């Protein structure tokens, strides 16, 4: 099985701009205070490309792509 990626938010660094939810609505919604709620499922295809742009656009540098490997692999 291939390596996958997922979006992760640093809740301490996040300042609630909400740009991420505008750029990646497939995986990120906002709570009542404007902070992101991230769907942690693996990113594939076009969604991964949008996620990379989203991470780069975060003004607080609070988003990152986390690499994950299937269980039992290193």
CATH number at residue 62: 3.30.70.20
* 69-to-1, 6, 32, 38, 44 alpha-carbon distances in Å: 8, 11, 33, 19, 14
Q: 32-62, pLDDT tens digit by residue? A: 999 999 999 999 899 999 999 999 999 999 9
| Domain residue limits at 16 | 4-68
Rounded CA gap, 24 and 2, in Å?
Answer: 23
**pLDDT for residue 23:** 96
Within a domain: residue 73? no
Q: 8-38, pLDDT tens digit by residue? A: 999 999 999 999 999 999 999 999 999 999 9
Q: Please give the structure tokens belonging to residue 5.
A: 């990626």
φ, ψ of residue 47 to 5 degrees: the values are: -65, -40
pLDDT confidence band for 3 (50 / 70 / 90): confident
Contact 12, 35 (CB under 8 A): no
pLDDT confidence band for 4 (50 / 70 / 90): very high
Q: How many structural domains is the chain composed of?
A: 1
């Amino acid at each position: 099985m291939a390596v996958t990626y997922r979006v992760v938010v640093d809740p301490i660094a996040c300042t609630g701009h909400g740009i991420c939810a505008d750029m990646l609505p497939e995986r990120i919604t906002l709570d009542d205070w404007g902070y992101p709620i991230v769907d942690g499922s693996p990113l594939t295809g076009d969604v991964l490309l949008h996620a990379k742009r989203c991470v780069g656009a975060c003004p607080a540098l609070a988003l990152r792509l986390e690499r994950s490997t299937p269980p039992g692999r290193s």
